[in-house]
Amino acid sequence: MSEIYETGMATRRRVLGDAHVDRAEAAKSDLDAPFQTLITEAAWGHVWSRDTITPRERSMLTIALLAGLGNDHELAMHVRATRNTGASADDIMEALLHVAIYAGVPRANHAIKIAKQTLAEMEAKE
């Protein structure tokens, strides 16, 4: 694999956790292997690995974008990732307040429901 892939995989593991990445890798098939390589290199190697902004800030941006676009499954995953990025529940709420204004109240309302449920599940596991 390429150096950018290795960098991306290290960042992906740091943000999402080994258990999540291990599950994704175990589920990978010949069909989706090119896609997995693409997201590891592009999202994790090129974008998430940049040091221009902090992982906390990247989490907040990602949560806002996913909520605004209605990507619920990815939203819950990135709320769980805040445990590793330093973004707090207050940070998540700030991001979702922006979603309400710039992407719509219904999107933010649904995202808040997902965030509350995900945070409660995280708390219950502690």
Nearest 10 degrees: Cα torsion 64, 97, 15, 52: 70
pTM of the model: 0.93
Q: What is the pLDDT of residues 100-114, one digit of tens each?
A: 999 999 999 999 999
The H-assigned helical ranges of the chain are 3-16, 18-27, 33-39, 55-69, 72-85, 89-102, 105-125
Domains by residue range for the chain, with CATH: 1-52 (no CATH), 53-126 (1.20.1290.10)
What single letter denotes the amino acid at residue 37? T
Give the CA distances from residue 46 to residues 41, 66, 76, 102, in Å, rounded to whole numbers and listed in that order. 6, 19, 23, 26
Alpha-carbon Rg for the chain in angstroms: 15
pLDDT band for position 1 (cuts 50, 70, 90): confident
Q: Indicate if the pLDDT at residue 54 is higher than 90.
A: yes
Q: Cα 73 to chain center, whole Å?
A: 10
